[in-house]
Every structure is written in structure tokens, then in C-alpha cells.
Structure 1
Amino acid sequence: MFKRVKEAVKLVLSEVQWMSLPSDIWSCSGTHYSFISLTVHWLDDHFERRSAALNVDVFPGSHTGNAIADKLIDLMASWGLDKIQVHLLMRDNGGNMAKGCRVSDIGSEGCNIHTLQLVIKNTRWNSTFYLMLRFLELEICLDLFSEAEDNDSKSLTCAEWEILEELANLLQPFEEVTKSLSYNESCMSEVIPTIKTLHFCLSKQNISSPLSSFKADFESNLRKRFEDLESNINFTMSTFLDPRFKTVFFPQTATSKLRNTWK
């Protein structure tokens, strides 16, 4: 059955002119095996989005850029794919993956969600965020419990509750953006509008002095991590061509430059 399905998928892909290929590498702590995945996304003749999970292969040895390049080419060849069909390969931000794409001469872009997590300097911050939300939801119950136990050390002060609420509000836009860009239906054209909206939300937040340094760091890191976003033709052109956005998120000078690109 696998062979029949694979041949059917290969037949469909042979008629696809352009496609994108997400790929990732990870290791299983329990078995110490490493794996590499390959997925394909494309638009059919009716402009409907299609996708197929092609491979999850064991990837032994050192994951150097050259080794990754060889593996990617082998996986694509097993499905009859030519790299000239690949518009972009979406990858993680590891230097070895970036090099693997360069060596194999496949255009690629890194994971913006990972970059966004690095703005907060903690890739597991969302677990703490959910804990804070639950804590705030149970504020009255926790205070009552503390009073019943007659132990003030088990409760937060009013000032501490306010700081916790402010921190949760500061992180809320990051959570919403992370979820928005993580949907199966999300696409590259949404990155620039989403990041610009996040900038705007942060700028409008009034934060008290205990957390002002956090906000300043978030804003600074956001600018630094995404400073080249609008000079990247893949992101700018996809946003410009998206009928939902068009020129809304670009200054006039950038809009003129994008229009001239298509002349």
C-alpha cells in the first residue's frame, strides 16, 4: 500500500511547478536516535492549498551542513523532486540547517516563531505565562486560603499581584502572535503585518517601573531580531501580493520600490 500511495503522490508532485518544503531535525532523548522530516506544500489548479508529509527518516551521524545537504537532496530525489521546483525550504534557525540549504542550492528561510521566542530570551516562556494566567484566575481563592492558614507568607501582596498582572498583559501579545503564526493555515504574507502589530501593541502598553526594563528589552530585541524583515524580498513580496494587506503595512517609499520590482 505504501508503494502505491507513494507513486500516486509522486505523480501529483511531478505536475507541480512550484512548492515549499518545511524540514526539521530533532533527537529522541529516549532512544538517542535523530530524525529529519520533509513535508511539501503547494497550490493546485483550483488555487487550493495542498500538502503531504513525505518523510520522517532516521538521520545518524554528525549533522553538518554538508551532511544535511546530502540528506535533503536524497529525500527529494526519492520523490522525484527537482530543486528548481522548490520556491523555499522552511527550516529552523540552526546554522547547520542554513548551511545545508546553501550547499544544496535551495532557497530557504528560518523559523520566525523560534526567532520570536528568542525576543523573550526563553523558548519555554509560554508555560510560565499560562501558569501566571491560572494564578491570576485563582487570586481570590489563594488569598482566602492564605487567610485560613493564617500565614501571610503564602500570599502575594497587592503590589505583587499588580506586577504579576502587568507581566501577563505584557506577554499576552507574544502569545497571540505565536499562536497566530503557528496555525496550519498561516502563511509567509502574515509575518510582516503580525510583527508590526506586535510592535504597535508593545508601544501602547503602560508599564510600571518594576517591569519597564522588561518592556524595553522586549522592544529592543524585537527590533534587533526582525530588523532585516522588510528588506527580505520573500516576506515583502508575499505581503504585498496578499489582497488582505497589499500596501497597508509599508511606507510609500517601500511601496513604490515593490511596484517597480514587477515592472
Structure 2
Amino acid sequence: MLQKFTELEEAVRTTVALLDTTLPHISVEEWQILRDLQTLLEPFEEATRAVNGQQYMTASLVIVITNSLLDICKEVSPRFAVNAKVFAKQLEKEPNERMGTVKYSSTLAMRTFLDPRFKTIYFKNNDAMEEAKKSVI
């Protein structure tokens, strides 16, 4: 929805200007915030589609998706508007609080390690990776 809205920016601006009504005008700064939010949320949409598109989600994907989304939130572009940066910090905080223990799950770590697509690439915690290796070997 946000993507379509930002794609229609010119049409929305023109329509609001031509109608000359009491509709609120979206400022240039607000349009930039919307584009920044769209950029931030695209990976979350892709992750959601990947998970929903499968019959079932494999355990090896849990750590991969969680760590990838957290990395994206940490690497917020310096050109982003202040409001978008605040939103990114909140996006980073929420999954950490809800799924922070995922990276310490020996079961999920072992499944990720055994998956030939991932092996040790997505491990952020070396202890968890070493523990997964020991469990397998």
C-alpha cells in the first residue's frame, strides 16, 4: 500500500492542487519519510512473502530471516529522515525483544548449520555456531 501511494505521488499532488479543497497537503519532507519507510519495510515484506509462500517454514530459515532483518534495521541509511531512523530503531528493538533468544536456540542453530544453503554464514553468535558444530559432530 505504501509503495502504491509513493508511486502515485505526482497524481496525488496534482489532484489535491486541482481540487482546491481542505484536504491536507503532504509536504516534501513527509513524502521523503514515506519513501524511507517504504525502503525500510520492503525486506520485511519479502520475508513475509517467503515464509507465507511455503507450505511450511523450515527451522533453518528462522535464524537466517531474523538475523537478516535485524541487520537491515541496523544499517539504516544516513540519508534517511529522522522519523524514519526512529522507526528503524523501533523495528530493530521489537524483534530483538520478541525473538532475541532465537539465536541461542541449539535446535534452530543445528538446523541452520546442517542446511547446505546457510552453514555458518548467518550465525551472529560464535558460541551458538560452535555449539551447533559440536552437536552435529
- State the TM-score, normalized to the length of structure 2: 0.84
Partner of 1:222: 95
Amino acid at match of 2:135: T
Structure 2 residue 117 is matched with structure 1 residue 244: yes
* Comparing 153-162 and 232-241, the one that deviates more: 153-162
Amino acid at match of 2:53: Y
Structure 2 residue 36 is matched with structure 1 residue 172: no
Aligned mate of 1:209, from 53, 67, 82 = 82
Partner of 2:134: 260
Contact kept, 8 Å, 2:63 with 2:103, in 1: the verdict is yes
Q: Report the CA distance between 1:141 and its aligned residue.
A: 0.9
Please give the alpha-carbon distance, in whole angstroms, between the structure 2 residues aligned to 1:216 and 1:149: 38
Amino acid at match of 1:226: M
Q: Report the CA distance between 1:152 and its aligned residue.
A: 6.9
Q: Report the CA distance between 1:219 and its aligned residue.
A: 0.9
Contact kept, 8 Å, 2:63 with 2:122, in 1: the verdict is yes
Question: Which entry has the higher C-alpha Rg, 1 or 2?
Answer: 1
* Comparing 191-200 and 154-163, the one that deviates more: 154-163
Identity, % of aligned pairs? Answer: 27
Q: Report the CA distance between 1:256 and its aligned residue.
A: 2.4
Deviation readout 1:157-207 (Å, 9 max, x if unpaired): 111111111122222221111111222254221111111111111111223
Moved over 2 A (4+): 150-155, 210-213, 250-256
Amino acid at match of 1:202: C
Q: Report the CA distance between 1:232 and its aligned residue.
A: 1.6
Please give the alpha-carbon distance, in whole angstroms, between the structure 1 residues aligned to 2:84 and 2:126: 36
Contact kept, 8 Å, 2:16 with 2:25, in 1: the verdict is yes
Contact kept, 8 Å, 2:37 with 2:84, in 1: the verdict is yes
Deviation readout 1:131-157 (Å, 9 max, x if unpaired): x22211111111111222134744311
Amino acid at match of 1:259: K
Which consecutive residues of structure 1, in runs of 5 or more, have no partner in the other structure? 1-129
Contact kept, 8 Å, 1:239 with 1:245, in 2: the verdict is yes
- State the TM-score, normalized to the length of structure 1: 0.46
Please give the alpha-carbon distance, in whole angstroms, between the structure 1 residues aligned to 2:69 and 2:8: 28
Partner of 1:77: none
Please give the alpha-carbon distance, in whole angstroms, between the structure 2 residues aligned to 1:151 and 1:176: 38
Structure 2 residue 62 is matched with structure 1 residue 188: no
Amino acid at match of 2:13: D
Contact kept, 8 Å, 2:106 with 2:131, in 1: the verdict is no
Aligned mate of 1:199, from 45, 57, 70 = 70
